[in-house]
């Protein structure tokens, strides 16, 4: 099938993309800080389950005096608890190969980086890495690839099937997401047929000029082809897509509005917004030239997450181990709903046993090096429920964040019980003794507070007796 970008052009302006950088710059230039009353009205709209417009989101960005910022954080926290409850979904990245024909200026894998050690896992190595991840307790992975002709759709589909087909004891991977170079519609069909969960790709920056500067050569230098990747994925039947920007290239406020614009576009054209949004900040990488970067300060980063929570209430927000543990813990309170844990970025890093990071073998530097067990103990201690739930995707409930938000009682009926069931499996199969005792106590308290507790308690007992994968 030949993809026709015109199909996604603005109806009144032939050839122009749905995302207009000038329009976004204009909104940011002319927005004025809202009064506290105006702010209350905007926040009230989010709390009323409504996605915010570009202008409303820009007003939240402009609201930067301490009282206004406090109101935004408070509302984001309340919305987060109401929409997602107190559960956090856990996953791990599995780097398959770092061959790459692009030259993204910020990335250790870029073609021109002679210091990078190139490696692509064999099928047997993918199995071994998967077994190691299962042995730690993981159920959800995201496979990550450089961009290279060797990593074509058939290859990607094979690696996905290899992961699904690898089981270790009680362990299995129940959801495989991918982060791979944009494909054409047929390519997306091929990877969809392998059973991927989310297709994730970051635009890096939505500013076309900056984009050109940071992506000087290779297929990734085509801004429009990347921008329309999600349209092609959805045309191929992939309902769950993950957007993202790489913070540190340009103005975070611009990127935030562009993410909202991209979300609106997908909702308008396909009836479903992105499943997740990611907002990684640039980390140190092999031979990285920092002089061209525009780092985003912690305080701005935290505001951005809270504003995003309010602007796109039913999109999952991902925060990776690029960020330090304390910041991740804090941002979970204001909007983040998924984190990775026990992450290794070195290709083959889950089986190599190496404890030290080596930037020439990795894409960038990690800040949060806690193991999965440590992250889970921390979440449990702070009143969060660690979740490995994959139920909606496997029961065909795609677009589930929207359901969580709009279907009365959805969280109590599905999300919390499924989180508790997967937490119970983890405790039985993988947890250190102290965490196991503490975790089961916690599960007892959480289950007792639920309306449909009888059926849940019955399933929890079946898990104690050795049954697995009892999803609602
Ligand atoms: N090669 C594909 C691509 O570029 O889309 C997929 C994977 S790439 C390995 C995953 C993401 O890592 C990139 O989209 C980019 O946002 C992020 N990344 C690259 N260099 C980084 C760095 N130095 N610090 C933090 N994130 C980085
Ligand atoms: Fe290659 Fe992706 Fe790194 Fe760019 S970000 S150099 S495409 S691996």
SS3 content of the chain, % helix, strand, coil (to 5): 50, 10, 40
Tell me the whole-structure pTM to 2 decimals.
0.95
Q: Where are the domains of the chain?
A: 81-405, 409-464
Q: Which ligand neighbours the alpha carbon of 98 most closely? A: 2
Q: Kindly give the distance from the C-alpha atom of residue 226 to the centroid of ligand 2, in angstroms, as a whole number.
A: 13
Dihedral of alpha carbons 342, 347, 350, 355, sign: negative
Which pLDDT does position 156 carry in this prediction? 98
Could you say which of 3.40.50.1370, 3.40.50.300, 3.90.550.10, 3.20.20.70 is the CATH number of the domain covering 81-405? 3.20.20.70
For residue 54, the surrounding DSSP H or E stretch is helix 54-62
Which pLDDT does position 276 carry in this prediction? 95
Query: Of 18-32, 222-236, 408-422, which range is least confident?
Result: 408-422
Distance (Å, whole) CA 33 – CA 31: 7
Q: How many CA atoms lie within 13 A of 54 on its CB side?
A: 22
State the pLDDT confidence band at 382, using cuts at 50, 70 and 90. very high
* Residue 434 burial by Cβ neighbours in a 10 Å radius (0-12, 13-18, 19+): exposed
Atom of ligand 2 nearest to the CA of 103: 6
Among 149, 156, 191, 202, which residue has the most ligand 1 atoms within 8 Å of its CB, making it the best to mutate? 202
Summarize pLDDT for 78-88 with one digit per residue, the tens.
Answer: 999 988 889 99
Q: Is the CB of 146 under 6 A from ligand 2?
A: yes
Among 246, 319, 320, which residue has the most ligand 1 atoms within 8 Å of its CB, making it the best to mutate? 246
What residues contact residue 434 under an 8 Å CB cut-off, 6+ apart? none
Which pLDDT does position 436 carry in this prediction? 97
Summarize pLDDT for 454-468 with one digit per residue, the tens.
Answer: 999 999 999 999 999
What average pLDDT does range 287-291 have in this prediction? 81
Summarize pLDDT for 350-375 with one digit per residue, the tens.
Answer: 998 777 777 777 777 889 999 999 99
Q: Is the CB of 93 under 6 A from ligand 1?
A: no
Q: Please say whether the beta carbons of 197 and 276 come within 8 A.
A: no
């Amino acid at each position: 099938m030949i993809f026709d970008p015109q199909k996604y052009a603005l109806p009144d302006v032939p050839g122009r993309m749905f995302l207009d950088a000038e329009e976004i710059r204009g909104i940011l230039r002319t927005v004025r800080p809202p009064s506290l009353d105006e702010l209350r009205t905007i926040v009230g709209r989010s709390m009323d389950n409504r996605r915010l417009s570009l202008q409303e989101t820009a007003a939240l960005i402009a609201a930067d005096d301490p009282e206004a910022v406090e109101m935004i954080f408070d509302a984001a926290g309340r919305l987060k608890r109401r929409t997602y409850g107190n559960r956090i979904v856990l996953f791990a990245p599995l780097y398959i190969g770092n061959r790459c024909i692009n030259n993204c200026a910020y990335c250790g894998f870029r073609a021109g980086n002679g210091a990078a050690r190139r490696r692509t896992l064999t099928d047997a190595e993918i199995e071994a890495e998967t077994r190691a991840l299962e042995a730690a307790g993981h159920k959800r992975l995201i496979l990550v690839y450089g961009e290279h002709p060797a990593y074509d759709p058939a290859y990607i589909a094979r690696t996905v099937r290899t992961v699904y087909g690898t089981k270790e004891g009680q362990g299995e991977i129940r959801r495989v997401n991918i982060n791979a170079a944009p494909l054409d519609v047929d390519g997306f069909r091929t990877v969809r047929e392998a059973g991927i969960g989310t297709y994730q790709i970051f635009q890096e920056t939505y500013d076309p000029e900056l984009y050109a500067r940071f992506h000087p050569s290779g297929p990734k230098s085509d801004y429009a082809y990347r921008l329309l990747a999600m349209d092609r994925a959805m045309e191929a039947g992939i309902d769950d897509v993950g957007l993202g920007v790489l913070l540190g290239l340009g103005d975070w406020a611009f990127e935030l509005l562009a993410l909202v614009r991209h979300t609106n576009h997908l909702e308008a054209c396909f009836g479903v917004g992105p499943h997740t949004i990611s907002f990684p900040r640039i980390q140190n990488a092999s031979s990285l030239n920092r002089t061209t970067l525009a780092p985003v300060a912690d305080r701005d980063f935290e505001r951005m997450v809270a504003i995003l929570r309010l602007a796109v209430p039913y999109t999952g927000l991902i925060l990776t181990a690029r960020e330090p543990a304390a910041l991740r813990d804090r941002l979970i309170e204001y909007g983040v709903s998924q984190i990775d844990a026990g992450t290794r970025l070195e290709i083959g890093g889950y089986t190599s046993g190496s404890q030290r990071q080596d930037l020439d073998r990795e894409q960038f530097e990690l800040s949060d090096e806690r193991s999965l067990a440590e992250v889970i103990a921390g979440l449990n201690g702070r009143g969060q429920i660690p979740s490995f739930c994959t139920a909606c995707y496997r029961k065909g409930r795609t677009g589930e964040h929207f359901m969580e938000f709009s279907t009365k009682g959805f969280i109590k009926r599905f999300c919390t019980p499924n989180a508790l069931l997967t937490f119970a499996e983890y405790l039985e199969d993988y947890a250190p003794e102290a965490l196991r005792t503490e975790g089961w106590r916690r599960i007892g308290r959480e289950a007792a507070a639920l309306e449909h507790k009888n059926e849940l308690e019955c399933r929890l007992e079946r898990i104690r007796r050795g049954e697995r994968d009892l999803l609602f």
